[in-house]
Amino acid sequence: MADAKVIPFGEDPRSRRGGKAGKPKSKVNGRRTGQLSPVPEQALTDGAEGAEKAGTGPAAQRGAEAGEAAEGQRAGGGWDRRLAQGLSFLRRRVTGDYEVDDFGYDEELTDQVLMSLLRPLYDKYFRVDVKGIENIPDAGGALIVANHSGTLPMDGLMLQVAVHDNHPADRHLRLLAADLVFMLPVVNELARKAGHTLACAEDAQRLLERGEVVGVMPEGFKGIGKPFSERYKLQRFGRGGFVSTALQARVPIVPCSIVGAEEIYPMIGNAKTLARVLGFPYFPITPTFPWLGPLGAVPLPTKWTIQFGEPIATDGFPLEAAEDPMLMFNLTDQVRETIQHTLYKLLVQRRSVFF
């Protein structure tokens, strides 16, 4: 979803987990503690160890509760529980009892609402497979660099769901978006709430230094608006501004390859005059749009694969490395070639565009 032009700058199958809405958040083993008479510490230790071995201890109980909650949420859950959670969520929204960071990111709204809206598209429509999720570090900042395609930026949204739902450390992806995103009504607010921010070096570096996982798509509009005849051929990655930002923040760069997005809106033409009138970078013409009207905006149900490559470390370079144009060029080219090679590999492995 990001247009990075504004910046001056494993193979394991995925494992699905329930959303955070079903995650227990009680402070002490899911129960309030009462006033109890003292118990010898050794007895507590022995008892806890025995319970864990028997599968009935606190840790096992918490795991079972989390599994049941997640399973309940994925299968529809109990209506009474979902109703109670919904009413509690609405009360917090009305009373303002929720947190928003200085970029406008609303984690609760993203977890409870936005991810729930995107998940059916991710799970059932595009049937996304995720590989190499373990290459995203469990803690600290990381910069995910991905290819961009598909006429509309659906790939950025699916990438965000992939990280949110699959990473074992519950990481959240903060996407860098083009200035056009923040000029559109409604879209502007939703993008901010979902954690997206303007694709500029200053915002990216602040997020990375705070330990966030940041996503950037350096092809920008050149990638997302390229004709169908050039599908899966990476466009220019700009001047390598994302490499400079990663070097300054001393965070790893994780190459990411997305297959499936190119075919959701096969772009066979571009009405450039109409695009200039509307202030868009391009105006797509596809086999269904604008001929079928609103129906032409429905994406084709392609089969997606998202693969995260091995991280490229940057903390071994000196601080002044960000000022070395040759190093920046080499690292940019390394990331680009890694993504391109992985795209070709995934395309060879793909059985069909739709299966």
How crowded is residue 6: how many other Cβ atoms within 10 Å of its Cβ?
Answer: 20
Q: Which of 171, 174, 161, 176 is nearest to 135 (CA)?
A: 171
Q: Are 126 and 260 in contact (CB under 8 A)?
A: yes
Radius of gyration of the chain (CA): 23
Q: 34 exposed, middle or buried (CB, 10 Å; 0-12, 13-18, 19+)?
A: exposed
Contact by Cβ (8 Å): 215, 7: no
pLDDT by 10s per residue, the chain, length 355:
444 333 334 444 344 444 444 333 333 333 333 333 343 444 434 444 444 434 444 344 434 444 444 444 444 457 888 888 888 888 888 888 889 999 999 999 999 999 999 999 999 999 999 999 999 999 999 999 999 999 999 999 999 999 999 999 999 999 999 999 999 999 999 999 999 999 999 999 999 999 999 999 999 999 999 999 999 999 999 788 999 999 999 999 999 999 999 999 999 999 999 999 999 999 999 999 999 999 999 999 999 999 999 999 999 999 889 889 999 999 999 999 999 999 999 999 999 999 8
pLDDT of res. 18: 40
User: What six digits make up the tokens of 261?
Assistant: 């997005």
CATH of domain 4-10+103-264+299-349: 3.40.1130.10
pLDDT at 77: 53
pLDDT score recorded for residue 137 = 97
- The pLDDT value recorded for residue 36 is 36
Domain boundaries, the chain: 4-10+103-264+299-349
